[in-house]
Amino acid sequence: MSDQPPIRVFNPAPMNLQAKRATIQREPLLLRPLPAAKRFTLGVVAVSLALGGALFLRNYHVRNVEVPLFLFAIAISAWYGVIEAAVTALLLSAAAFDYFFTEPFYTLVISTADIPYFIVFALFASLVTWFSTVRRRVELELIQARDRLVIEVEERTQQASLLNLTHDSIFVRDMNFVITYWNRGAEELYGFSAEEAVGKESQSLLQTDFLLPLEDILAELLRTGRWEGELNRIKADGVQVVVASRWSLRRDERGQPAAILETSNDITERKRRQDEIERLNQELAHRSAELEGTNKELEAFAYSVSHDLRAPLRHMAGYAELLHKRVSSTFDEKSQRYMAMMLEAAKRMGDLIDDLLAFSRIGRAETRKTVVSLDQLVKEALTEIRQDTEGRTINWKIGTLPEFYGDRSMLKLALVNLMSNAVKFTRTRPEAEIEIGSVNGINGDVVVFVKDNGVGFDMKYVHKLFGVFQRLHQSETFEGTGIGLATVQRILHRHGARVWAESAIDQGATFYFSASQRQGQLQ
């Protein structure tokens, strides 16, 4: 086994575009001019080599090579040393030619006959210098243009590869709508490959259906440089697709429209969901209108029935009471009980009709909203329910209550019903405790609560609590028609608020309702 270390092959990393751009900004090595200090030296060295070669060849009887050699030296000097080296080489070549190759030899004397010859040599040398300089500049420009083209091609290739990384559909077309670029996202969305799409007219290829006139779209694009909208198109498999399309206009150096870049996303499913939501909303609005009409008819029916029942019921109750007074002395105990039950039933039915009328009026009455003091409403409600609290020990705890915006009479009725409810269901307690207060809710709302230590209820029946004629306790134990809490809910719903309750059996109950303190918030 060899003890020599393994040979490591070094693969230099590819030069990035920035380094390449910096490299081509410098002249190529073969075209790069020498520093100023070395240009004169180049002219001297070039002429010396040309002179040495001419003298060497003359020893072997090779004649008439000195002029081509001197011209070559001048051309080399002009190529690498620019004007300074070329002038130096021209002067030295003329002197060397006169000294070594023109009679009389080894003198710098120029005869009159040789002057035209030297002028022709100088002109020809100048022509060679000019040609070399121009040729060098043109070749340098060509090399730099080639390098710039290579860099631009690489940049465009990199940009195209980056555009292929996105899932968005991106393609470019000229002002005649002929496609010139088609990325991978466009292939995935429309199903056409780049080979199938490039060179085709986009409107025909995709069968684009514009929702607006194309003339208006192009006018906006030319005016603002951008356009956004929805388009209907047909994919390669014949399936229709709805896309959200964004156009950007590119102009050339003269400011003339040159190309259009379009980015699009598939929104077919989103449009389908939007259409479905719109259809459901329309159906919901239609059903809501029907339900509202039905509710109004039911309210009118309830009001009419309740109103029409009051008169005959009063007659029945009145005559039954008169009959009881006149013949009660002749009735036995069982008949007396029957008569009392009839009067009690008539009274309960009268209370039920009155509550039903009040409930119906809440839905029909117009709300007149003002800034209402809750403290004042609670005081007035206490006055109204005072007769129900006589002979009982009730500890009232009333906290600071804010003002808020609503219908005064309706809110007072809601508070009366909630407080009466608390008084009624604490009747079995030797010492009732009822608390009324408020806490801050979310979004600046105020939450008002009425809390008692009464019999409470089972939370699994809470959904029945605010229903009309719904009762969670036996009527023999606690009186009532089952309309009071339904009236509270209707009042608060008309104010855009909500009402809810929390309780446990034999552990009291707390009723909450929320409303905004900001005027105009309640509807």
Asked if residue 68 belongs to a domain, the reply is: yes
One domain for residues 439 and 459: yes
3-state secondary structure of 434: strand
Q: Please report the pLDDT score of residue 516 as a whole number.
A: 57
One domain for residues 253 and 310: no
Place of tokens 């020498």: 34
Asked if residue 325 belongs to a domain, the reply is: yes
One domain for residues 135 and 257: no
Domain termination site, one of 266, 294, 325: 266
Express each pLDDT in 166-212 by its tens digit: 667 888 889 889 998 888 888 888 989 988 888 999 888 998 888 88
Within 10 A of 258 (CB to CB), how many other CB atoms are there? 13
Domain holding 261: CATH number? 3.30.450.20
Q: What's the mean pLDDT when you consider all of the chain? A: 76
Range of the domain at 440: 366-516
One domain for residues 150 and 175: no
| Lowest-pLDDT range of 58-67, 74-83, 476-485 | 476-485
Asked if residue 275 belongs to a domain, the reply is: no
Asked if residue 356 belongs to a domain, the reply is: no
Q: Total domain count for the chain?
A: 4
One domain for residues 512 and 372: yes
Q: Please report the pLDDT score of residue 211 as a whole number.
A: 82
One domain for residues 314 and 390: no
Asked if residue 10 belongs to a domain, the reply is: no
Segment 24-44 mean pLDDT: 58
Domain termination site, one of 201, 234, 266: 266
Helices (H) and strands (E) counted in the chain, each on its own, are 13, 13
One domain for residues 443 and 482: yes
Q: Please report the pLDDT score of residue 212 as a whole number.
A: 85
One domain for residues 370 and 426: yes
Place of tokens 């939501």: 277
| Lowest-pLDDT range of 9-23, 146-160, 477-491 | 9-23
One domain for residues 221 and 302: no
Kindly report the backbone phi and psi dihedral angles of residue 169, in degrees, each rounded to the nearest multiple of 5, phi listed first. Answer: -80, 120
Q: Rounded CA gap, 409 and 126, in Å?
A: 114
Q: Please report the pLDDT score of residue 192 as a whole number.
A: 92
One domain for residues 294 and 386: no
The tokens for 438 are 């408020």
Q: Is 421 exposed, middle or buried (0-12, 13-18, 19+ CB in 10 A)?
A: buried
Q: Rounded CA gap, 220 and 213, in Å?
A: 11
Has residue 15 got a pLDDT over 60?
no
Domain holding 465: CATH number? 3.30.565.10
Q: In sequence order, what DSSP letters do the residues of 303-335 get, joined into one string?
A: HHHHHHHHHHHHHHHHHHHHHHHHHGGG--HHH
Express each pLDDT in 352-409 by its tens digit: 676 666 666 666 666 677 888 888 888 888 888 887 777 788 888 988 887 878 888 8
Asked if residue 12 belongs to a domain, the reply is: no
Asked if residue 503 belongs to a domain, the reply is: yes
Q: Say which residues have a Cβ less than 8 Å from residue 420's Cβ, sequence separation at least 6.
A: 385, 388, 484
Q: Please report the pLDDT score of residue 9 as a whole number.
A: 35
Asked if residue 361 belongs to a domain, the reply is: no
One domain for residues 303 and 258: no
One domain for residues 401 and 502: yes
